[in-house]
Structure 1
Amino acid sequence: MTRQALHEGWTLRAVEGPQVPAEVAGRAVPATVPGCVHTDLLAAGLIPDPYFDDNETALAWIGRTDWVYETTFAHEPGGDDRVDLVCAGLDTVATLTLNGAEVGRTENMHRGHRFDVRSRLVAGSNTLAVRFDSAYRYAEAQRDRLGDRPNAYPEPFPFIRKMACNFGWDWGPTLVTAGIWQEIGLHAWSTARLAVVRPLVTVEAGDGRVELHVEVERAGDAPLTVRASVAGVAAEATIPPGERTAVLALTVRHPALWWPRGYGEQPLHPLEVTLHDADAHPLDTWSRRIGFRSVRLDTAPDAHGTPFALHVNDTPVFVRGVNWIPDDAFPTRITRDRLAHRFRQAADANVNLLRVWGGGRYESDDFYDLADELGLLVQQDFLFACAAYPEEEPLRAEVAAEAAEQVVRLAPHPSLVLWTGNNENIWGWHDWDWQEPLAGRTWGRGYYLELLPRIVGELDPTRPYWPGSPWSGSEEIHPNDPAHGTTHIWDVWNTDDYTKYREYVPRFVAEFGYQAPPAYATLRRALSDEPLAPDSPGMAHHQKAIDGDAKLRRGLDAHLPAPGDFDDWHWLTQLNQARAIRLAVEHFRSHRDVCAGTIVWQLNDCWPVTSWSAVDGDGRRKPLWYALRRAYADRLLTVQPRGGGLALVAVNDGPGPWRATASVTRLTLAGEPRAKATLELDVPAYGKVELALPAELARPEEARRELLVAEAGDPAERALWFFAEDRDAHWPPARYDAVVEPVDGGQRVRVTARTVLRDVTIFPDRLDPAAEVDEALVTLLPGESATFTVISGAPLDPAALTARPVLRCVNDVVAD
């Protein structure tokens, strides 16, 4: 097997059309492969940055234009039986011609294609062209042919197998891409090649077992030999003439198990497979790293309903998850280093699972490799989201082919623990007024409850499959019933205050979220608004949620006073987002005997936008990230309302018991104690303890002037409870001393409170866009100090670093 990459010398041009601007029409520009039209036009200086201001709108013509990529390459014919043109990913409706002759067509971004081109190649120079027809035109033609389907957005994405969020979402731009978005090249081979290698990895009685399914493609009928090895164990099988498959079994005695992060190590073992001809000459090779672990879902009905509990290596894992969307609207800009940074941000926030959401893509090999290395579990949706999807041909065949290819591709990865059929589509059929307009037409049920479970069951029975998110486990039960299976909680963001999270005690929460704008430096890079305002043109364009700003204001009104200016609005909306999600996570974790996991919407963004993310589109951490790190900590101390009073709940997601004496004090805002108690904590590994607080602690004398402080352990875990909303509390004006001193790579800021300071946070990106701080949302009682380490390339002005709008606390907005 020899491989020749075809990534050089490409040009791009638009096919003529009235929508094509004059400066682009008739012009060929250099193209990067892998890549896409938008990034090539941007590199050529022919379009403005789609992420800035409202440029996205002016670039809508790109998605309605046909495009041609073309290159020439040298080829010298050899004695190979076959030469295949192998396309790992074409986006999306493509016609390929080699030396003027058509060699293939595609209409699915989510799968690869292979075309036999040996007879079309010539000695010397060859010309390869790939024409991409408008994704809009294709999808709209399918819609017209099959009949429209209900959809959360007025776009035709259900009618084409393409990344749905390219067509815009309530957090994403409408940038309908086209291009050679994954590797392309020639593969020359003789006799046979490895067409499919599918390892099924299990653990039985402590032994690791690999059941290796191999399929070959033949150019002749000679006998073949397959050899495989892993962790010092080898196996071999013969494929007789005319046959194409073999199954090899490899058993590794008592291997070190692969564990999720926080539960153990992540040993990985190279699995090597080679194909040989009858003379033992190697024909093809395949290699991946695998990890030995078992995974199952506990869904056996109990007294609370139907659980949804993930077990790895027969150990229940409380999921501390985040939803993942594509990290860029243009996937080829997402490097392994960028993914590694994002994954480290997730792990540093104590996350143990990433859910790859169904409106994006099946992620890259780098994504799953990094997850394997870090012990980050992955839940992978099949790619259906927020719409009714037709099940007629050719879409059904494309869905089946894409699903089979991706299940096989991802089978080696121990991090992948769950396949999910869709995002919100079964829920949509029940609750979003779909049934009347569908009038009996297909909407995707056959995919989620028949086709996809059959494919997973046949190709990878080692992993559980769940038909949807949300899904109750039965068509007889409402798909979003919190007592059964997985649930999404969106009434809080859409219609209710975030304290309503406490009304839910779900089995597993797969989506819930609250919005806030991105970092200030991110806004200033992307928007030219002068001045910035919540409703200035660029801010308004980068708020994609329906009535998003009104919902942000509703959330503020319930807890905080009206912001005085944009800086206050920016600070308070970010603070409110952090508080909403921290309240929700702590509440759900405090019920871990019923609730087995939470997946926050969302970790990341794909561009600069007001959204539900913890990390914004420029990769900057919002205050939510710091709140999530605390709420997802292995040891969580939290005060929760219970039965008309208050309880101290200690949650332990560590492998050993947590024993400590907890002190709980009711204080005035001036720091004067009013009541105090001590409680003994003995929390088992992966468990919780709930202790009712005495009435003298739970009932304040002056709700607006008091708080509750609970501390336990060394170093101390601290939990706070405020008896009044910030808008009603009698906060004193903020008084503090701040000392700034240089440290390696930045500065250390020590803040000493002279009054109570609520949620002290420093925003160094306002002084240096590259600056970061290690801590945020710190509440200090009078006399207490906190240290913040600011990392920046150059020293920042100490006076600016320790005053508003860089250093903020609640007091500076709501002081009595």
Structure 2
Amino acid sequence: MLDATPLSEGWTLHHDGAALPAAVPGCVHTDLLAAGVIPDPFLGRAETEVAWVGRRDWTYETMLDAAPGEHEQTDLVFEGLDTAAEIRAGGQLLGRVRNMHRSHRFDVTGLQGPLSVRFTSAYTEAEAVRERLGERPNAYPEPFQYIRKMACSFGWDWGPTLVTAGIWKPVRLERWSTARIARVRPLVTVEDGLGRVELYVDVERTRVEAALRVTARVGDVRASAEIDGTSGVVRLEVPDPALWWPRGYGEQPLYDVELELLSEAGPLDAWRRRIGFRTVELDRSPDAHGSGFTFVVNGERLFARGVNWIPDDVFPSRITRERYRTRLTQAAEAGVDLVRIWGGGIYESEDFYEACDELGLMVWQDFPFACAAYPEEQPLRGEVEAEARENVVRLMPHPSLVLWNGNNENLWGFRDWDWESRLAGNSWGEGYYLGVLPRVVAELDPTRPYTAGSPWSGSWDHHPNDPAHGTHHSWDVWNRLDYAAYRSEVPRFVAEFGWQAPPAYATLRRALPGERLAPDSPGMLHHQKADDGNGKLARGLAHHFAMPEGGFSERDFDRWHYLTQVNQARAVAAGIEHWRSHWPVCAGTIVWQLNDCWPVTSWAAIDGDGREKPLYHELKRLYADRLLTLQLRDGELVLAVINQSAEPWSPSLTLRRMSVEGGVVAETSVGLAAEARSVALIRVPKDLEPVGPKEFLVADADGDGDGLRALHFPVPDREVPYPQPRFDVTVAPGKVTVTAHTLVRDLLLQADRLAPTASTDRGLVTLLPGEQVTLAVRGWETPDADAARAALYCMEPTR
């Protein structure tokens, strides 16, 4: 049998004659950080102090002993090298590589002595390609589109510029004889209650004449096939397989697939994966509203409740299996059922997709192209096809993977960002998105749909970001308008939209040690990467809240921090509630974004230290199977009862027109039935509509145990004469209870102010007079009522 030996020990990092211990997998920055050579680039403004690292060449070295022993051949296998490198072993040049997204294999049989991997600065490589192929436009002033590397290493509007190098994935020696499995391409289908698994096997040989065969097993089903030369296919049929479903629609049964390569002398190599049986289609049919974009899994049409995913660390080698599991479990617990892996990052590790398989999270996989015109000439073209072929086959076993997407925003950029005139006919990536990539997917993985980009209307017959056709990115709202503008249109599928807020207070305190925090303090500004980000935050607040004269200062920081968190949650709620209420015309939302790669003011629901912002808890409400929302439709106020569950829902609804002082002006009860996977609407009676700044409407669904509520205030907060909030606070181990004596709007316990380790299970809560809420608190060892009260924030009278 093939013998694999990890090659993770004994590495050193060399530069300018110095040698440091090196971790493999790892990267230059983490090695320098561990050695105390550089400060933590996440703290303060140290990012700028380490910029030199990305401009240098670096060499990793260890000793190699590739004696084959009892085997005929020894291969050196790098699962991932970041990025442009020359590999030498035993005094011989093994090869040169230039793609972070691929693995690399070299025959090193019998070689002994030093093994070195010399990395050229990614800047040097990218700038040389740019010089050769010509300038192409992009969204940021860095040359990320000229090298097949994680684009956001070069910085983004939420990320630091930390251009990495290193052996970022495992490396090993493989010793083998006669033949080894080079590739297994599994096609998994299900039709009429019969599951089919076709395993297309490619082998590499040392002995051409040897007779080879493969055997395979799925559960109790077994089959075998001969290898004809270097390839073969083994087919298995599984009767009545249990279907894999997205979370909320059913279970996630997974089947072990085991394949073995044999010669007459016995076993040579093995391949093992887990698969799931399910069908996935993308309905893009034209209709009266344009052309749709609806996921259909096992025949069930879905409203996708999604989040965008960026690399969870700017140094991806630090992301462990446990960290993936934690972050994706957070997503699932927030009601998410789809995760889009954004195109400026990476193809994630097996740990990511395995967690999604088990949690029932559908995966939308971008190919790594984002926000730039990409040259289509060599050396990039060959690398693009090679990486696509490798990763399509690598990820095919995962039932969670439901869509291949060609790029992020590049088709849109060509049309709207003044690229066409600047390109003057030069290649820019269209040949990848409409040629190479769909061809590779159709050839290798015909079981999954492909779309050319996001946003994309389906063809050049429509604007790439036309909300009536295909996928839509809604960024005018954040950049130029108030979030109320989300309600002005009904896109077919909203693949990106979002609103910024700073990270949790404890995250800021750790990231900016010793700094006196203010919205515009030096560290806060450094950890705000968006163009005019603070200006957009301020203008977004001004639409809704009374602003201090001259803006928020250091003295007002806590209030600014709270209000920006509220505004982020409300903005996302405005979009999702509106779009969900228009199902099935709108068939999904993907919030930008779930996570962060460092501590930063951003659109994330979970900050760079893993702390959950109020937006995260708001997503639990917004993405629940059942949701109430009050919406204006054609000038009339309606209550939408959204039921994405598998059972009909007939809630008993209470509508109360209330004054902000707490009195009930008018009240009624109504019944309304919402069928499974549907939305039901009811017109709010005229006498229940709130009038003026002192009134609001409350809709409650009683008797279902969920405590579902919708609120409608007819004017912005700055015009609402909120009473001075009065409430009692009691504490006990693991909980804080608040009892309201007045209207208490958007009450928020910032648990991390109690202790950096503390967290709570709730976000923003609105209490009517006499109502009570108990907030679970974890990680707080010494409960104290005064401390809890100091960590509670809510709406206050306008100052």
Provide the TM-score with structure 2 as the length reference.
0.98
- 1:778 has 2:765 as partner: yes
Instruction: Tell me by how many angstroms 1:248 deviates.
Output: 1.6
For the residues of structure 1 that align with 2:570 and 2:495, how far apart are their CA atoms?
19
Instruction: Tell me by how many angstroms 1:528 deviates.
Output: 2.9
2:277 is matched with which residue?
292
Of 202, 206, 212, the match for 2:199? 212
1:20 is matched with which residue?
none
1:514 is matched with which residue?
499
- 1:238 has 2:226 as partner: yes
1:431 is matched with which residue?
416
1:492 partner SS: helix
1:597 is matched with which residue?
588
Instruction: Tell me by how many angstroms 1:422 deviates.
Output: 0.0
- On the 8 A contact 2:651/2:701 being kept in 1, the answer is no
Of 414, 425, 435, the match for 2:399? 414
May I ask how many residue pairs the two structures share in their alignment?
Answer: 790
- 1:118 has 2:105 as partner: no
Task: Give matches, 1:198-597, under 5 Å.
Answer: 198-221=185-208, 222-240=210-228, 243-279=229-265, 281-528=266-513, 530-562=515-547, 565-597=556-588
For the residues of structure 2 that align with 1:137 and 1:537, how far apart are their CA atoms?
31
After superposition, what is the alpha-carbon deviation per residue over 1:590-623, rounded to whole angstroms, capped at 9, x for unaligned? 0012000000000000000000000000000001
After superposition, what is the alpha-carbon deviation per residue over 1:52-76, rounded to whole angstroms, capped at 9, x for unaligned? 1111111111111000000114454
- On the 8 A contact 1:382/1:419 being kept in 2, the answer is yes
- Cα 1:414/1:253, change in 2 over 3 Å: same
Instruction: Tell me by how many angstroms 1:92 deviates.
Output: 0.4
For the residues of structure 1 that align with 2:700 and 2:417, how far apart are their CA atoms?
44
1:755 is matched with which residue?
742
- Cα 1:530/1:86, change in 2 over 3 Å: closer
Instruction: Tell me by how many angstroms 1:103 deviates.
Output: 0.9
1:28 partner SS: strand
For the residues of structure 1 that align with 2:560 and 2:651, how far apart are their CA atoms?
40
After superposition, what is the alpha-carbon deviation per residue over 1:139-198, rounded to whole angstroms, capped at 9, x for unaligned? 001001111100000000000000000000000000000000011111111111111101
For the residues of structure 2 that align with 1:190 and 1:576, how far apart are their CA atoms?
63
1:642 is matched with which residue?
633
For the residues of structure 2 that align with 1:367 and 1:519, how far apart are their CA atoms?
25
2:150 is matched with which residue?
163
- Give 1:92's aligned amino acid: T
Of 695, 702, 706, the match for 2:696? 706
Instruction: Tell me by how many angstroms 1:798 deviates.
Output: 2.0
For the residues of structure 1 that align with 2:277 and 2:508, how far apart are their CA atoms?
45
- 1:11 has 2:1 as partner: no
After superposition, what is the alpha-carbon deviation per residue over 1:457-514, rounded to whole angstroms, capped at 9, x for unaligned? 0000000000000000111111100000000000000000000000120100000000
- 1:45 has 2:41 as partner: no
After superposition, what is the alpha-carbon deviation per residue over 1:625-664, rounded to whole angstroms, capped at 9, x for unaligned? 1111111111001111112110010111111111122111
2:124 is matched with which residue?
137
1:89 is matched with which residue?
80
After TM superposition, the structure 1 stretch with the greater mean CA deviation from structure 2, 256-265 or 653-662, is 653-662
For the residues of structure 2 that align with 1:654 and 1:713, how far apart are their CA atoms?
17
For the residues of structure 1 that align with 2:27 and 2:148, how far apart are their CA atoms?
17
What is the CA RMSD across the aligned residues, in angstroms?
Answer: 1.1
For the residues of structure 2 that align with 1:769 and 1:589, how far apart are their CA atoms?
36
Instruction: Tell me by how many angstroms 1:108 deviates.
Output: 0.2
- On the 8 A contact 1:368/1:413 being kept in 2, the answer is yes
For the residues of structure 2 that align with 1:357 and 1:558, how far apart are their CA atoms?
31
1:609 partner SS: coil
Which segments of 5 or more consecutive residues in structure 1 lack a partner in the other structure? 17-25
Instruction: Tell me by how many angstroms 1:529 deviates.
Output: 5.1
For the residues of structure 1 that align with 2:410 and 2:9, how far apart are their CA atoms?
41
Task: Give matches, 1:10-89, under 5 Å.
Answer: 10-14=11-15, 16=16, 26-89=17-80
For the residues of structure 2 that align with 1:702 and 1:118, how far apart are their CA atoms?
82
Provide the TM-score with structure 1 as the length reference.
0.96
Instruction: Tell me by how many angstroms 1:47 deviates.
Output: 0.4
- On the 8 A contact 1:207/1:251 being kept in 2, the answer is yes
- Cα 1:468/1:443, change in 2 over 3 Å: same
For the residues of structure 1 that align with 2:637 and 2:68, how far apart are their CA atoms?
79
- Give 1:249's aligned amino acid: R
Instruction: Tell me by how many angstroms 1:709 deviates.
Output: 3.4
- Give 1:703's aligned amino acid: P
- On the 8 A contact 1:528/1:538 being kept in 2, the answer is no
2:606 is matched with which residue?
615
- Give 2:263's aligned amino acid: D
For the residues of structure 1 that align with 2:66 and 2:537, how far apart are their CA atoms?
60
Which segments of 5 or more consecutive residues in structure 2 lack a partner in the other structure? none
2:18 partner SS: coil
1:446 partner SS: helix
- On the 8 A contact 2:506/2:752 being kept in 1, the answer is yes
For the residues of structure 2 that align with 1:709 and 1:689, how far apart are their CA atoms?
14
- 1:807 has 2:792 as partner: yes
2:716 is matched with which residue?
725
For the residues of structure 2 that align with 1:304 and 1:772, how far apart are their CA atoms?
44
1:669 is matched with which residue?
660
Instruction: Tell me by how many angstroms 1:583 deviates.
Output: 1.1
Instruction: Tell me by how many angstroms 1:79 deviates.
Output: 3.9
For the residues of structure 2 that align with 1:705 and 1:132, how far apart are their CA atoms?
65
Instruction: Tell me by how many angstroms 1:767 deviates.
Output: 2.4
2:439 partner SS: helix
- 1:688 has 2:675 as partner: no
- Give 2:600's aligned amino acid: V
For the residues of structure 2 that align with 1:706 and 1:537, how far apart are their CA atoms?
41
- On the 8 A contact 2:190/2:279 being kept in 1, the answer is yes
For the residues of structure 2 that align with 1:154 and 1:607, how far apart are their CA atoms?
21
- Give 1:247's aligned amino acid: V
Instruction: Tell me by how many angstroms 1:102 deviates.
Output: 0.9
1:216 partner SS: strand
- On the 8 A contact 1:325/1:357 being kept in 2, the answer is yes
- On the 8 A contact 2:291/2:468 being kept in 1, the answer is yes
For the residues of structure 1 that align with 2:141 and 2:584, how far apart are their CA atoms?
42
1:173 partner SS: coil
2:781 is matched with which residue?
794
1:723 partner SS: coil
- On the 8 A contact 2:541/2:567 being kept in 1, the answer is yes
1:23 is matched with which residue?
none
For the residues of structure 1 that align with 2:20 and 2:606, how far apart are their CA atoms?
34
- Give 1:544's aligned amino acid: K
For the residues of structure 2 that align with 1:685 and 1:713, how far apart are their CA atoms?
18
For the residues of structure 2 that align with 1:357 and 1:530, how far apart are their CA atoms?
33
- On the 8 A contact 1:733/1:815 being kept in 2, the answer is no
Instruction: Tell me by how many angstroms 1:793 deviates.
Output: 4.5
For the residues of structure 2 that align with 1:706 and 1:231, how far apart are their CA atoms?
59
Instruction: Tell me by how many angstroms 1:675 deviates.
Output: 1.8
For the residues of structure 2 that align with 1:73 and 1:701, how far apart are their CA atoms?
79
For the residues of structure 2 that align with 1:591 and 1:76, how far apart are their CA atoms?
65
